[in-house]
Amino acid sequence: MNELSFLILTVLADGPQHGYGLLQGIAGLTDGAVTPQVATLYRTVDRLAADGLIVEHGTEVVDGRFRRSYRLTETGLADLETEAARRAATARVATKRVKRSRAVGFAGGAA
């Protein structure tokens, strides 16, 4: 699962969102480090929908602008859980290695 898919699923784990809401959620999650182009966002949304990880939640027109919101499916939630666990495990290993590397000095950091 790529970074953007992971972020979209994470945002949706908090509740249904439309496109702009997803962008805001992603920016908030990453402190503005990830700001996908709108076309890229929707390409990923399409792919997640095709894979059955998200579905359309509803549509509305706000201030003359058409919005469609999306929500997680059970499969999406399970995939997000698996991916989050995997990333957390990787992060734990990385953190441990950083600490060890600092402890022995950078010369011993090859391990």
Partner 1 sequence: MTDLESRYRRLFAAYPRTHRAEREDEMVATLLDVAAPGRRRPALREAGSIVLHGVACRARSATEWQLGLGLAGLVARALATALAVAALGIGLLPPVGNPIRLRDRGVALEPAWLDVPAWTPVVVWAFALAAIVAGARSSWGGRRLIVPGVCAVVMIVAGPDVVGMRRGFIAPFVLLLAMSTLDASASARKRAIASVAGLTVGGWLAVVFVDRFGDGPGRIWMQSDRWYLAARDLVPMRPGDWLVGIVLGCLAGAVRPRFAIATGLVAVPLGLLTVRSRMLGTVEELALAALLGGLALLVVATSRSRSHRAGTPGDAVAT
Q: Which is nearer to partner 1, 20 or 97 (CB)?
A: 20
Cβ(69)–Cβ(56) below 8 Å: yes
- Min CB(84)–partner 1 separation in Å: 26
Provide the 8-state DSSP code for 59.
E
The 54-62 sheet, strands edge to edge: 17-18, 65-72, 54-62
Residues 89-108: b if buried by 16+ CB within 10 A, e if exposed: eeeeeeeeeeeeeeeeeeee
Piece in contact with partner 1 (CB under 8 A), picked from 6-14, 42-50, 89-97, 101-109: 42-50
Q: Binding of partner 1 at residue 2 (CB under 8 A)?
A: no
- Closest CB to partner 1 among 69 and 101? 69
- Which one among 34, 38, 88, 94 touches partner 1, defined by CB under 8 A? 38
Answer yes or no: are the C-beta atoms of 35 and 22 closer than 8 Å: no
Residue of the chain from 31, 32, 65, 99 that contacts partner 1 (CB under 8 A): 65
What is the CA angle 32-16-54, rounded to 5?
Answer: 95
Q: Is 18 in the site for partner 1 (CB under 8 A)?
A: yes
Which of 42, 97 has the CB closer to partner 1? 42
The residue ranges that bind partner 1 (CB under 8 A) are 18-20, 23, 37-43, 46, 49-50, 65-68
